[in-house]
Chain A
């Protein structure tokens, strides 16, 4: 989503144990996109603790109202959350739970893809943190900084990092750099269609989990 010189890329992966997690994920993505677009400059300057309160409160109330209106437990709307917002100069990134955020940056005249934010999860494979957890403010990780050396960001659900991140070597697979490079030569719509096709044909051979991937690169 882009508006007023700000672009927001967000992803919420519904909890497998939550009955209406698809609805919860959709609500959170829409809420975060709107909230960040409207308040990017203020949020960028804000004290981190206050920012966490603002964002987590917005998440809680949007899910609370949905659960109230539908008379369902709020936990049924659980999901993870990853978002990246940028303007010409700065970025604002947030992350709750698993999934990964990578970034492409310039280092000593070389363009490198690195991990920006690791998954936050329990010790075990099937344990992670969600938007409905009681300690959401502690689980919300916020990053802010300059876009000067950054070329772009990629966000992915845990199913995505199964396929795009080598857990032993702790580095992204060559496919990530290739996906970033598609954005140099093709439109966003073409890259979206191509990525989807590759996910349907290739990713499914590597994981049984569902996958979501979002990527943005400077023009």
Chain B
């Protein structure tokens, strides 16, 4: 009789953790050569290591990386962080930011479709856009697309300028809610520490709860 009153673990549903999709859209143009790209690579590695060390975030976070420099490339598609290899970025070429944001938005849309088919819940996707300069292609369609998604509460954008050469006015065209911020020097590690904490907080939030992200004062000017 006692067995009958016990629910076995295999009689309960085994639903996957709700995902937090994060697409990093990173400037790898020629002006990032040297110290900046080295610090960016160190920051990305730190980000992956931090996510992997968090018991909930490592199952919740899905990270994609798009770079824009000599070409626009999907360096990493969305997937389980534990199965992903940390990419090593190289800098050269121009700054085709519009094309990169369009590719990132396509990837986010694909990821959402895959989650829906698989019955996986997901949080509002995040797009992190980082540049140390200004775009060398037309950003009109990409910025309009991103703006529409943000206004429809379908996307959160974090626009970040690296150093004094970054054009924050251009970045603001992608982000009608979050104003662009300028990073202190090339303090990528502090930024990615903030980002990993933010992902961890979000992945532990429950439906209906407000999500309060940590302050950005550690890495912004």
Contact = CB atoms under 8 A, between A and B. Distances in A.
Given A175-B7, A198-B6, A206-B12, A126 B119 contact: no
Residue in A78, A198, A209 with the greatest tally of chain B CB atoms within 10 Å: A198
B85 interface: no
A194 B5 contact: yes
A130 interface: yes
Contacts of B4: 178, 182, 185
Interface of A: 15-18, 78, 98, 121, 123-128, 130, 158-159, 162-170, 172-175, 178-179, 182, 185-186, 194, 198, 202-203, 205-206, 208-210
B120 interface: yes
A126 B123 CA distance: 7
A167 B13 contact: yes
A163 B209 contact: no
Contacts, number: 101
Contacts of B210: 16-17
Interface of B is mostly: loop
The 10 closest A-B pairs by CB, nearest first: A16-B209, A168-B119, A167-B119, A15-B208, A125-B18, A125-B121, A175-B11, A173-B13, A17-B210, A174-B11
Interface string B125-156: 00000000000000000000000000000100
Interface in B170-209: 204-209
A192 B12 CA distance: 18
A199 to B, nearest CB: 9
B121 A17 contact: no
30 contacts: A16-B206, A16-B208, A17-B210, A123-B124, A124-B123, A125-B121, A126-B206, A126-B207, A126-B211, A158-B207, A165-B13, A166-B14, A167-B16, A168-B16, A172-B13, A173-B12, A173-B13, A175-B12, A178-B4, A178-B7, A179-B7, A194-B5, A198-B5, A202-B7, A206-B12, A206-B13, A206-B14, A206-B15, A208-B206, A210-B206
A182 to B, nearest CB: 7
Given A123-B124, A166-B15, 15 more contacts: A125-B18, A125-B122, A126-B209, A130-B208, A164-B13, A167-B15, A168-B15, A168-B120, A174-B11, A175-B7, A178-B4, A186-B5, A194-B5, A202-B9, A206-B15
B115 to A, nearest CB: 10
Contacts of A182: 4-5
B122 to A, nearest CB: 6
Contacts of A162: 13, 15
B201 to A, nearest CB: 11
Contact of A78 (B13, B121, B206, B208): B208
B132 to A, nearest CB: 32
A168 B119 CA distance: 4
B118 interface: yes
B6 A128 contact: no
B52 to A, nearest CB: 19
Interface in B1-48: 4-7, 9, 11-16, 18
Contacts of B5: 182, 186, 194, 198
Contacts of B118: 168
A78 B11 CA distance: 32
Nearest to A195: B7
A96 B89 CA distance: 48
A130 B207 CA distance: 11
B86 to A, nearest CB: 27
B13 A198 contact: no
Contacts of A168: 15-16, 118-120
Contact of B207 (A123, A128, A164, A202): A128
A202 B9 CA distance: 7
A15 B154 CA distance: 21
A168 B115 CA distance: 10
